[in-house]
Every structure is written in structure tokens, then in C-alpha cells.
Amino acid sequence: MAIRTVVFLSQLKPGGEQQLTHVLPIEFPSEALSKIEAIKRVTICQGSGLFAAVVEYDGDFEKVFAEYISSSSIQAFHFKIHSLFEA
């Protein structure tokens, strides 16, 4: 199967970009993501009040996403950063 790409794009709250710059290097769940075999690469981009996660994966999106959201480390990361984003 070919490598596929999905982009998650979110609007940051005012001041969120600066806070995220400090949080990402410490809290980003790299180890948990590396355990999801289908995920080949994750690229994080931020600027102009936007946050983008570009995820390259191989396989069925629904299966990969189910593994992603079932990870307690990834859930904890999302809980820590959710307040930085617009609803």
C-alpha cells in the first residue's frame, strides 16, 4: 500500500503559539507515536496562529486513527495542550 498523508489543522488561541513552542519539545508523545507501526512520519508546523500536524502513514486510516486515540500517552498530550486551541 502507498504512503498516505493527512493534515490536521487547528487555530491557536492568542498566545497559544508561544506556549506551544515551550510545551512541544517536552510533552510531544514521540515514543507513543513510534509504537504505531503504520505511522511513518509526523511533521509539526506552526505559525500565523495556526498549528498543523502532517502525518504520513501506511495502511487503513480508521485502524491507524483507532490506535492513535487509544494511546494513553497521546491522550495525555492532547489533554495538556487542548486549552491552547480555539474550539
**Would you state the cell numbers that stand for residue 37, as one nine-digit string?**
507501526
**Would you state the cell numbers that stand for residue 22, as one nine-digit string?**
515551550
Q: What is the pTM of this model?
A: 0.87
Instruction: Give residues with Cβ within 8 angstroms of 49, minimum separation 6.
Output: 11, 12, 14, 16, 17
- φ, ψ of residue 13 to 5 degrees: the values are -70, 160
pLDDT exceeds cutoff 90 at 63: yes
Q: What is the mean pLDDT of residues 57-71?
A: 96
% of the chain with per-residue pLDDT over 70? 99
Predicted pLDDT at 33: 96
Which residue in the block uniquely carries the three cell numbers 493527512? 6
Q: What is the mean pLDDT of residues 41-47?
A: 95
Write the pLDDT tens digit of every residue in 3-30. 999 999 999 999 999 999 999 999 999 9
Q: Other CB atoms closer than 10 Å to residue 63's CB: what's the count?
A: 12
- Please check whether residue 10 is in contact with residue 86, taking contact to mean a CB–CB distance below 8 angstroms: yes
